């Protein structure tokens, strides 16, 4: 009996791992499809073809294309949200908190460069309807709070935290959204190489910190 119970337990554990692995494969392919086409034009048939997973299995795990899209948004932001929450930014001086936040943001996007394009399509196609259901608003709020603390304490120059947060996100993320155009410049640079991503991180952080400091 004990042997049978252990065998059943092992089989159930393997089934869970297989299901998680299948979902991860689907989500990775879906992120690529949504980054290229957005929710409106993305096709579950294309996602199924890329993964070798039956279309019915995609619906089994995620119900429909919108459910899959929402899962991609949540998965894409979970890494950043978890990283930022672990930093204890509220206990750091504003400039240090801002630098740590930006480092976490850019490291996350460098690992998941499709995220900015997904969010670009979300803004254009859906007017941000699903953006507000994701973790994005929490991340935006963290940045605004840091800027509010910095201006209140005098560590930052007088600025509008909301407008500045928009400009900061643009500085960090346009590199990824505009990479198709940027790479046409005749400099032979591989924008998504590790070295170039690290350089972008350093340059963006230096530019932003210089922009918010009190002269």
Candidates 145, 148, 143, 150; CA nearest to 166 is: 143
* pLDDT at site 9: 47
Candidates 69, 147, 82; CA nearest to 111 is: 82
Candidates 198, 194, 146; CA nearest to 169 is: 146
pLDDT confidence band for 1 (50 / 70 / 90): low
* pLDDT at site 135: 64
More confident residue, 32 or 125: 32
- Whether 85 has a pLDDT exceeding 90, the answer reads no
In the numeric block, which tokens belong to residue 5? 């119970």
Candidates 78, 12, 18; CA nearest to 53 is: 18
Q: Are 207 and 178 in contact (CB under 8 A)?
A: no
Half-sphere exposure of 214 (CA within 13 A, CB side): 12
pLDDT one-digit tens code per residue, 88-103: 899 999 999 999 999 9
Rounded to an integer, the average pLDDT of 49-56 is 91
More confident residue, 113 or 61: 61
- Domain 2-212, CATH class in plain words: mainly alpha
Predicted structure pTM score: 0.81
């Amino acid at each position: 009996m004990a042997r049978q119970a252990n065998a059943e337990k092992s089989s159930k554990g393997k089934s869970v791992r297989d299901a998680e692995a299948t979902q991860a494969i689907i989500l990775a392919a879906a992120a690529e499809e949504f980054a290229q086409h957005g929710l409106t034009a993305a096709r579950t048939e294309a996602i199924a073809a890329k993964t070798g997973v039956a279309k019915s299995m995609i619906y089994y795990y995620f119900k429909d294309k919108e459910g899959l899209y929402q899962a991609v948004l949540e998965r894409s932001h979970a890494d950043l949200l978890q990283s930022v929450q672990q930093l204890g930014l509220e206990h750091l001086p504003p400039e240090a908190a801002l630098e740590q936040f930006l480092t976490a943001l850019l490291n996350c996007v460098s690992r998941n460069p499709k995220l900015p394009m997904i969010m670009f399509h979300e803004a254009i196609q859906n007017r941000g309807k699903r953006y507000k259901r994701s973790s994005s608003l929490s991340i935006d709020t963290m940045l605004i709070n840091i800027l509010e603390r910095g201006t209140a304490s005098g560590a930052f120059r007088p600025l509008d935290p909301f407008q500045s947060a928009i400009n900061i996100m643009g500085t960090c993320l346009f590199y990824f959204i505009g990479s198709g155009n940027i790479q046409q410049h005749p400099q032979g640079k591989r924008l998504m190489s590790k070295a170039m991503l690290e350089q972008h991180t350093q340059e963006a952080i230096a530019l932003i910190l210089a922009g918010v400091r009190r002269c």
